[in-house]
Amino acid sequence: MAAHNFLKNSWYVAGWSVEVTKSLFSRTILGESILFFRKEDGQVAALANRCPHRFAPLDMGTREGDSVRCGYHGLTFDTEGRCIAAPTARGRVPDATIRTFPCEERHGLVWVWMGEPHRADVTRIADLSEFEAPDVRHASGGYLHCAVNYQLLIDNLLDLSHAAFVHPIFGNMSMCEAELTIKTTPDTVRVDRWMPGCEVPLYLTGLFQPGSQVDHWLDMLLYQPTNMILYFGVAAPGGSRKDAITGLASHLLTPESETSTHYFYSIAQPRHLATDADLQIAHEAQRTAFTLEDKPIVEACQRMMGTTDLMSLNPIILPDDSGAVRARRMLARMVRREMTNAGRATDDGDATPETSQIGEDSFA
Ligand code: FES
Ligand SMILES: [Fe+2]
């Protein structure tokens, strides 16, 4: 696996808001075990989950108001990370501080900033406000742990041609013939898949005659480095998109380690198209597809690759890989730039935005 392939100066999903309570809760993010809990005022605190005495995990300790007491010898830390009590230190509280992490609660999620604290800018949190629009229903809370590098999951989501083979309910062979349009901005990659006049997917045969044709689209927007929104829709051939069945799904990836990832997901649809019960069924279908179909194949790929980086294995690059290849290149540039700029007061911008139809892109 390539070293340093995490972008640290970025917001990552630490968990759904409902997961973080006044009880101590830990999650490993970018290889660091982090302790989360809600303070008395309801704000989220995030601290390194490791006591600097004998390195006991602090989540085995006790929350006492807005501080945490280690469960081994009782060192106590406030939410600034300062050691404020040491019952066994004979009156001399060690001058010790543990790392804290900027946190922000937005879109029903707790976000954590993994880089230099002075660069934490909440305007850089992925914009998921469409899931909170008043005319939309949202089924959230999906979580899956995957024993796979996060970039392999991004590859999977930016190349939905796999649905033809992995998801028999959602996909069919029409997925292999999609017209692709790829657009990039300095921190996004969007892969639009347009499938006019394609065979209706099996999961929609209750709404369309089996074997009939539909216009189908699946547009995936990646906010670098790891958060995605899928915009999907199905319409009668040549029909207006405003009469279509549409929705959007979040795919939010947080690297746990080089070979494991936290996968948070949700789905939303316009209120006039889906009841709460319909949406729960769709959310359950997401869970089934990700757990029983995507997870086994991507984890198997990871096992076959071991810890070797994908690109160093010289993989065949197919047209549908185009978006993922661009996303990887862009992220590699961002990581390189971050390493170059480490310690500087300001950051440089990224590449010029670009758009291409498939066939215009270079896969080299
Ligand atoms: S390990 Fe935490 S106080 Fe000893
Ligand atoms: Fe999939």
State the pLDDT at residue 171: 87
- Residue 362 pLDDT > 80, yes or no? no
pLDDT value at position 363?
A: 38
Q: Which ligand is nearest to the CA of 70?
A: 1
Question: Hunting for tokens 């998801």 — which residue is that?
Answer: 167
Q: What percent of the chain has pLDDT over 90?
A: 83
Least confident of 10-19, 59-68, 98-107, 172-181: 172-181
pLDDT at 102 over 80: yes
Q: Give the residue-averaged pLDDT of 57-79.
A: 98
Kindly identify the ligand whose nearest atom is closest to the C-alpha of 295.
Answer: 2
Q: Do domains 11-122 and 133-357 have the same CATH topology?
A: no
Query: Counting atoms of ligand 1 from 1, which one is nearest the CA of 61?
Result: 2
* Predicted confidence (pLDDT) per residue in 106-143, tens digit: 999 999 999 999 999 999 999 999 999 999 999 999 99
Looking at the predicted complex, does its ipTM rise above 0.95? Answer: yes
Q: Which atom of ligand 1 is nearest to the CA of 56?
A: 1
The CATH number of the structural domain formed by 133-357 is 3.90.380.10
Contact, 72 vs 56, CB < 8 A?
yes
Ligand 1 within 6 A of CB of 96: no
Q: What share of the chain is helix, strand, coil (3-state, %, to 5)?
A: 25, 35, 40
Task: Count CA atoms within 13 Å of residue 141 on its CB side.
Answer: 10
Predicted confidence at residue 352, as pLDDT, reads 52
How many degrees, rounded to 5, is the angle at CA 97 between CA 92 and CA 103?
145
Please report, for the chain, the start and end positions of each structural domain, with discontinuous segments joined by +. Answer: 11-122, 133-357
From residue 363, how far is each of 149, 189, 319 by CA, in Å?
Answer: 22, 15, 8
pLDDT at 343: 67
Tens digit of pLDDT for each residue in 296-307? 999 999 999 999
Residue 361 confidence class, pLDDT cut points 50, 70, 90: very low
CA of 327 to the centre of ligand 1 (A): 43
Assign domain 11-122 one CATH number from 3.40.50.300, 2.102.10.10, 3.30.2130.30, 3.90.1150.10: 2.102.10.10
Q: What is the pLDDT of residue 357?
A: 56
